[in-house]
Amino acid sequence: MTAFIEDEKSSSSNPILVVKFGGSVLTNGQNAKKAAEMLKKAYDRGFSLVVVVSAMKGVTDQLLTTTKATNPNVPDELLAEILSMGERTSARLMAATLSGLGLKTTFIDPDQESWPIISYGKYLDAEVDMKETTERVRKYILPLLKKGYIPVICGFVAKNKEGKIQTLGRGGSDTTAAVLGSALKAKEVVLVKDVGAAFSADPKRAKGAEILEELDMEEALLLSLSGSKLIHAKAFKYLDEGVKLRITSLSLDIEGGTIIEGTAPLLKVEVTDPDISMITVVGKGLASNGALTCLAEAIKKANGLLKSISMDDRAIIAYVEGGKDVYDKVHEMAVKGGIGKATSYFDNLAEVTVKGKALEMAPGYIQKITEPLGRAGINIYGLTTIASSIKLYLAKKDIDKALKLIKESLGIEEVKR
């Protein structure tokens, strides 16, 4: 299984799939065999395959619980070693299963010279050194594909430059698959899960949830950052533009399920609306007396566009397109309709959006954005956050200076205007 021999078959020109099997799929030997059979069908259709495996269902939790019971203060360095054992066992089992189907395969373990995933940082939530990892993938993994092998690689696990085991955090096998997909310039990263598609809602919580045949990358990132277990959010950080994601299951074809295409920027700042007005409605009980519905109807009737809103029991602040016409209609419906006591209007604002997958990967971005603006005397008339984006409402006269300051603070090379 681990002896590499020259073979007349060369898969160097074959499309590459990185296929990851989650722990909820690898529940028993029967499912492991189904996974191997799925891979054989894809291999027979001409795909070069790299397989990433999670620990079998429940194994990582059991290892963690047992370790904490014996030593609640176990050092992270040692805990990472222990937690890696679930994936390391799964890789061996999958390689054995593939071999039983007559496929050329080998497992890749962190103890081997050919181990590709190099990391740095925290032992239990490490980051991947993409430069070093890509070099090792092309040196050790790509030659295996050219010889027709199916390498099976432990998900979740990494190794730092000192040779110490680290892990990529919960859901880290998704990250492993994304890293390998990018390093190999794969056609797709296929995530095989127990629920083999993205849905319009959580099918376990909402009736009538419908399967989505496709999503774009930003939509998938938003869902992941908002509590969906579709894909671990950290994986997006390492996914290169041009590499597609696919969600499928053992009951579907390896080319079935939901396809996710496009790109989500790592970090970008841009003026997303150059002409914004701020409308405030004040009164009592605004959160419970239909004021929000009234406000939305007023904006719609004036042919305006609601961009963002914030509210509490005494005030609603809306950021809108449409200017004075919208304000007149809001005043008419809110005050004359008895919803609020008074309104105010402020124009000559612009909307600046900072977005990207990096925002959710590390804390402190709001502070990095707002502090330099404050030091420069630039007033922020509004700030809202949603998943992987931050929206600021600033005076038009301050926009050029604000963009420059935000760019410098975040280290963004190019600011789109």
Is the pLDDT score of 415 beyond 60? no
CATH number, domain with residue 349? 3.30.2130.10
Is 334 a domain residue?
Answer: yes
Which of the listed residues 261, 296, 316 is the one where a domain comes to its end?
261
pLDDT value of residue 360: 63
- Contact between residue 303 and residue 325 where contact means Cβ atoms under 8 Å apart: yes
Mean pLDDT over each residue of the chain, to the nearest integer: 89
Q: Do 276 and 349 have their domain in common?
A: yes
- Residue 98 sits in the same domain as residue 214: yes
Q: List strands edge to edge, sheet with 165-167.
A: 126-128, 118-121, 157-160, 165-167
Question: Is pLDDT above 80 for 7?
Answer: no
Using DSSP, how many helices (H) and how many strands (E) does the chain show? 13, 20
Structure tokens at 143: 């030659």
The answer to whether residues 241 and 326 belong to one domain is no
Q: Which domain holds residue 350?
A: 268-410
Gap between the Cα atoms of 141 and 163, Å rounded: 19
For helices 85-100 and 59-70, what crossing angle results, to 10°?
150
- Which of the residue ranges 38-42, 171-175, 220-224, 298-302 would you say has the lowest mean pLDDT? 220-224
Structural domain count, the chain: 2
**How many residues does the structure list for the chain?**
417
pTM, to two decimals: 0.81
- Asked whether the predicted pLDDT for residue 12 surpasses 60, the reply is no
Tokens of 409: 């603070």
- With 60 as the cut, is the pLDDT of residue 1 above it? no
Same domain, 190 and 142: yes
Looking at this protein, which amino acid is placed at residue 371?
E
pLDDT tens digits along 89-106: 999 999 999 999 999 999
In eight-state DSSP terms, residue 397 is G
Phi first, then psi: what are they for 26, rounded to 5°?
Answer: -85, 70
**In 3-state terms, what secondary structure has residue 390?**
strand
Question: Which range (299-303, 359-363, 371-375) has the least confidence?
Answer: 359-363
Q: What is d(CA 399, CA 377) in angstroms, rounded to the nearest whole number?
A: 12
With 70 as the cut, is the pLDDT of residue 319 above it? yes
pLDDT at residue number 3: 38
**Distance between CA atoms of residues 174 and 374, nearest Å:** 39
pLDDT digits (tens, 9 = 90+) for 377-410: 999 999 998 767 899 999 999 999 999 999 999 8
- Please tell me whether residues 156 and 290 are part of one structural domain: no
Residue 415 lies in a domain: no
Strands of 76-223, DSSP E: 105-108, 118-121, 126-128, 150-154, 157-160, 165-167, 188-192, 198-199, 211-212, 214-216
Confidence bin at 13 (pLDDT 50/70/90): confident
